[in-house]
Amino acid sequence: MNEWLKEPRVMGILNITPDSFHAASRVETIDHAIQHAARLIEEGVDILDLGGQSTRPGANQISSEEENQRVLPVLEAIRQRFPSIKISIDTYYGEVAAACAKLGVDIINDVSNGCIDSGIHAVAAETKIPYVLMHNSGDSTNLTRLISYSNVVDDVYAFFENELARLMKLGISEIILDLGFGFAKTTEQNFELLNQLDKFKALGFPLLVGVSRKKMIQTTLNVTADDSLNGTTVLNTIALMKGANILRVHDAREAQQAITLVRQLALSSK
C-alpha cells in the first residue's frame, strides 16, 4: 500500500445511508450504488469508500447487523462489477470489517480508533488490511465532542505517536493517518492542522485528508454543503502541497484535477 501511495490518490465517498450530510453522496439501492460507483470511477477515483452509517453530528447510531445489511450486498455487487477498484469500508464495527474482509475489501477506515468496538483492531491485525487511524477526541456516544487542546497540532501529533506504538504492538503495521478534520475540533483548529499538515509526514505514514464539503468550508465561506465544491478543491490543493497522500472526497474529477496541477507545479520546479 505504501508503494502505491507514492503518488496521491483519490478516495471517493459512497454513503449507503439515508442521512449522510451531503445528500448527493447517498445511495439506498444496489443499482443506485453501482451507478454512483461507475460515475466516481469514470471521474478518476482510485478508492471507493463505502459507509453504512453517517458519522455527522447528531446522526443516529445503527447496529452492526443493520450496517452489514446495508453494506455487504453493495460491496459484493461493486466488487463483481469493478474487480480492480480498491475498496475501503468506513466502519467502527469489528463484525462489519470482518465480513467485508471476506469479500475482498482493501482498507479499513475507522473513525473511532476502536473506541466503539475494540474488536476492529483484532480484525485489522489478523487480516493485515491497511487501517486508517483517525484522530478523534470524542467517545462512544459522541464522535464529535469538542475538547480543549493545549496546542491542537502538538496534541494530535502526540496522539498519533502513542496510538501508532500501541497499534503496532497489536500487529497492525500498515497504517494510514487521518487528522480527523471536523471531528472534535473547531473551525480554527481544523485550519491550524491543515496549515501544519506537513509536520505529520515525520511520523512516516501516509496521510489521508477528508475536508470535502465540511463545516470548516461552509462556515468560513457562509455556504451550504451543496455550494462547497470550490472551497473543497482549494483546501485539497493546499493539502496536496503539504504532503497529503489520499484525498477523501465527494467529487473525484475535481480532486484528480488538483493532483494533476500540483504535480505539474512540482515538475516545473525541477
What is the pLDDT, as a whole number, of residue 237?
98
Q: Is 166 assigned a catalytic role?
A: no
Sign of CA dihedral 212, 207, 74, 45: positive
Report which secondary-structure segment, H or E, holds 86: strand 86-90
Q: How far is CA 8 from the centre of its chain?
A: 14
- Read off the pTM: 0.92
Question: Residue 139: what pLDDT?
Answer: 53
Give the structural domain span for 188: 4-268
Euclidean distance between CA atoms 49 and 10, whole angstroms: 10
Taking a C-beta distance cutoff of 8 angstroms, is the pair 258, 236 a contact?
yes
Which 3 state secondary structure label does DSSP give 132? strand
What pLDDT sits at residue 94? 96
Could you confirm whether 248 is annotated as catalytic?
yes
**CATH code, domain with 102:** 3.20.20.20
Contact 135, 158 (CB under 8 A): no
d(CA 21, CA 23): 6
pLDDT of residue 107: 98
User: What's the total number of domains in the chain?
Assistant: 1
Q: DSSP letters of 183-224?
A: SS--HHHHHHHHHTGGGGGGG-S-EEE--TT-HHHHHHHT--
What is the distance between the alpha carbons of residues 41 and 145, in angstroms, rounded to a whole number? 34
Residue-level pLDDT, tens digit, the chain, 270 residues: 678 998 999 999 998 877 554 455 566 788 889 999 999 999 999 999 999 887 665 567 889 899 999 999 999 999 999 999 999 999 999 999 999 999 999 999 998 899 889 999 999 999 999 999 999 876 545 555 667 789 999 999 999 999 999 999 999 999 999 999 998 899 999 999 999 999 999 999 999 999 999 999 999 999 999 999 999 999 999 999 999 999 999 999 999 999 999 999 999 876
Question: How many angstroms separate the CA atoms of 126 and 153, rounded?
Answer: 32
Location of C-alpha cell 471507493: 48
pLDDT score at 140: 45
- For residue 166, the surrounding DSSP H or E stretch is helix 152-169
Q: Pick the catalytic residue from 248, 253, 263, 270.
A: 248
Q: Which residue in 185, 213, 214, 215 is the catalytic one? A: 214
